[in-house]
Structure 1
Amino acid sequence: MVLFLPLFFKLVIVILYLIVGAKFFVSKALLVKKEKFRNFIRGTTSTTPQAITTNAVTTIPTTEIVPTNETTMTTAAPACLDAPTCTNCKLAYSNVIAACGVCMDVTSSGGTIQSRNFPDDYDGYGNGFGPLDCIFAIDVCPEKKIQLTFTQFVVESCCDTVTVFDGTLTGETLLPPTTGYTIPSSSTTTSNKMTITFKTDGNNNALFPESLRPGKWQATFTVV
Structure 2
Amino acid sequence: MSAPVAGLAPSVRMPVDRRVSAVGFVDVRTAVPDAVLDLRYATTDNFVGERLYPPNARCLVHESMTPGLRAAARILRARGEALVFWDCYRPHSVQQRMFAKVPDPAWVARPGPYSTSHEAGRSVDVTLAVRRPDCPAARVVDDRCRLDMGTDFDSFTPRATAYATDGVSAPARAARARLREAMAAGGLTVYAGEWWHFDGPGADVRRPVIDVPVA
- Alignment TM-score > 0.5, same fold: no
Question: Which category describes the TM-score, using the shorter chain as reference length?
Answer: under 0.3
- Structure with bigger strand share is 1
Larger Rg: 1
TM-score normalised by structure 1 residue count: 0.21
TM-score normalised by structure 2 residue count: 0.21
